[in-house]
Amino acid sequence: MKILYGTTNKAKVSIMENATKPLGIELISLLDLKRELPVVDECGKTPLENSKMKAETYYKAFGMPVFSCDSGLYFEELLEGEQPGLHVRRVGGKELTDDEMIEHYASLAAKHGGKLTGRYKNAVYFIVSDTEAYSSMDEALSTEPFMLVTEPHPKRVKGFPLDSLSKDLVSGEYYYDLAEKDVSTSAIEEGYRTFFEQVLQAHQQRMNLGKGLKNDV
């Protein structure tokens, strides 16, 4: 099955390719379409609401199976009104660059004793057709808790600036110094792979039964 991933973030595409390739999914991104992209009004209150809005917009525009993801960042030490939540990059009405994000969140950690305990909560919404859609915001799509600190690691991965500020809670080591762990990738690849495995199975059952009802996975 050829599926459009509703994103222009190359780093996110790479992660999802790793998750879906074993399933025989042919993944393309918005960049591959080389067409004018519609504007998405991401006014949802949760990652799942935003992922649904994006998927519906891209499905309407391009008429092919498409999924979109969204995420929110939440810290144990912050009050509800202080949480980055859906607006990880947007601070004070401004869209931050990778370097600006590192500076901002390092300063935030400094205000709370030099570290924060955070977790990304992720959601996915997948539209196969007008009558078939699947969604999830399962805990398996969330990253493991991690420590966000003030001093960044010298390594950078474009599109994932906060990884350079992230440390493993148990060892206290930067994730980039732990070959087997990465706060934004391997921790959730299995969750996405499981989601798409379930989707493909449910889709095949629908094809066999000739039904078209919406399902949540």
The residues that bridge with 119 in the sheet, in sequence order, are: 74
Amino acid letter, 152: P
pTM of the model: 0.80
pLDDT over 90 (residue 57): yes
Residue 137 CA to residue 46 CA, distance in Å, equals 10
86 by DSSP, 3-state: which?
coil
pLDDT over 90 (residue 214): no
Kindly report the average pLDDT of the chain as a whole number. Answer: 91
Residue 85 CA to residue 90 CA, distance in Å, equals 10
Tell me if 97 sits within 8 A of 41, measured CB to CB.
Answer: no
Q: How many distinct helices (H) and strands (E) make up the chain?
A: 5, 9
The model's pLDDT over 99-153, given as tens digits with 9 standing for 90+, comes to: 999 999 999 999 999 999 999 999 999 999 999 999 999 999 998 899 999 999 9
Torsion (CA) 173, 100, 18, 155 in degrees, nearest 10: -40
Average pLDDT of span 186-205: 89
Q: What's the pLDDT score for residue 22?
A: 93
pLDDT over 80 (residue 216): no
pLDDT over 70 (residue 178): yes
